[in-house]
Amino acid sequence: MMNLEKNTESKSHLKAVGQALFVAFLWSTSWVLIKIGIRENLPPVTFAGLRYTLAFFCLMPLILLKQNHRMELRNISSFNFAQLTILGVVFYALTQGAQFVSLAYLPAATLTLLLNLSPILVALISNSFGSESPTKYQWTGIFLSATGILVYFYPVSLPTSQIIGLTVAIIGVAATSISSLLGRRINHRSGLSPIIVTTISMGVGGLLLLATGIFMQGLGQITLNHWLMIGWLAIVNTAFAFPLWNASLQELTATESSVINSTMMPQIAILAWLFLNEPLTAKQIAGIFLVGIGTLIVQLSRYLPISLNPFRKQSVE
């Protein structure tokens, strides 16, 4: 009987790993599709707004068709709704908008390298508010990531367009870090289900992006192929992928999900090389490798047992 239960748990865990890896791959392909759309003159902010607004309308039926979700939606407090609104503005309008705009100026691998620094910034902010200094493991990860950035960009000789892209990307990194902290707080303390948090915040951010994009950039010349691309990004890579990722998190540990999520950076670099004609030099590959290792060290150091992480502070009770 115990062997049967262990086998069932093992299969369930393997299924969750497979789901998470599949979602990471889908999200990696998003970068290629976004870049293709932008190259074909889709207005970046409008493009982002169409993706997330359509995804929002795809997710709403999942809420409206379930009585417990409808009740939860009706009973959201004004405070929680305000938090979801802020999350939507920061995570979707600012973060995703910055990502789409940055891809209009930067190679996909460059942007994903910069965004991969977000967990490091989150760790630094969390430690600051927690009145704790980063551990020696975290400082090691930060040093490796900083070295990786220097290796990737050295010698610094960027055209004006890429400087614009880097500026927007840095704003995106900051917004990603803030939204990560805010998202954790809402998910842990609001008592709301993940589907409600995702859908409401996505609706707020997506509609804001769409309105801003149409006002500032217009709709552009959207062809049938563009609509198919937007539909795939909205339905498959967003409305389908987000719940699948959340489902996998019910089985995976935080360490496992961090490692799987980190596979996106090399995947994006490879896909950009294959489909966007954005090859990388040996120096840039080395930089990406260092940033990836450094980020993993920062993310995983807090999950190491104290016996394996002698630098972590022990709490005094």
pLDDT in tens, 175-206: 888 887 788 788 778 888 888 988 999 999 99
Q: Name the band, by pLDDT with cuts 50, 70 and 90, for residue 304.
A: low
Question: Is 310 domain-assigned?
Answer: no
Residues 121-143: b if buried by 16+ CB within 10 A, e if exposed = bbbbebeeeeeeebbebbebbbe
Question: Is 8 domain-assigned?
Answer: no
Question: Is 309 domain-assigned?
Answer: no
E-state strands within 182-299: none
Is 21 within 8 Å of 11 (Cβ atoms)? no
Question: Is 4 domain-assigned?
Answer: no
Question: Is 36 domain-assigned?
Answer: yes
Is 286 within 8 Å of 278 (Cβ atoms)? no
Q: Name the band, by pLDDT with cuts 50, 70 and 90, for residue 9.
A: low
Question: Is 179 domain-assigned?
Answer: yes
Is 119 within 8 Å of 147 (Cβ atoms)? no
Domain range for residue 124?
Answer: 16-303
User: Would the pTM of this model clear 0.75, i.e. be above it?
Assistant: yes
pLDDT in tens, 236-289: 999 999 888 877 877 777 667 777 877 888 889 899 999 999 988 888 889 888
- Answer whether residue 92 shows pLDDT above 80: yes
Q: How many domains does the chain have?
A: 1
Consecutive H or E run containing 301: none
Is 122 within 8 Å of 173 (Cβ atoms)? no
Question: Is 313 domain-assigned?
Answer: no
Question: Is 286 domain-assigned?
Answer: yes
* pLDDT (mean) for 34-44: 94
